[in-house]
């Protein structure tokens, strides 16, 4: 199931030419992941408090295909590609009017608060099936 998250490009997101600064795409996809998991009923703060598990980006592949510009309305599409006991691989594309501007594959891992690898909590596994 594909999750869609709207993003409006503000002046602060752009460089002097009015083009979205490359690092801001990472912010856009981070926000989309937060809303994606929240909409599945997962409270990440509660998961941390109850299980001691937090999440971190382990690997990211990104392709910048075309520029987004000031005042554009974009959509971040998030989709699960794979899931194991300790990681989730997501495909996240940033689109404008259906055209992919930024394509990424993000690997998220579960960690203890000390940074050791951990299994995905049951609530996460259940919410993604």
> Within its chain, how far is the Cα of 93 from the centroid?
9
User: In this structure, what token pair is assigned to residue 36?
Assistant: 């994606």
Catalytically annotated residues: 15
Q: What single string gives the DSSP state of each residue in 30-65?
A: HHHHHHHHHTTT--HHHHHHHH-EEEEEEEEEEEE-
């Amino acid at each position: 199931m594909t999750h869609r998250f709207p993003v409006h490009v503000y002046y602060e997101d752009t460089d002097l030419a009015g083009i979205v600064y490359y690092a801001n795409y990472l912010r856009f996809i981070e926000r989309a992941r937060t809303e994606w998991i929240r909409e599945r009923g997962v409270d990440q703060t509660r998961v941390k408090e109850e299980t001691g598990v937090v999440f971190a980006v382990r690997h990211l592949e990104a392709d910048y295909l075309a520029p987004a510009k000031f005042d554009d309305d974009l959509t971040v599409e998030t989709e699960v590609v794979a899931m194991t006991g300790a990681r989730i691989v997501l495909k996240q594309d940033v689109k404008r009017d259906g055209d992919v501007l930024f394509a990424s594959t993000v690997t998220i891992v579960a960690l203890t608060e000390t940074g050791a690898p951990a299994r995905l909590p049951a609530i996460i596994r259940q919410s993604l099936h």
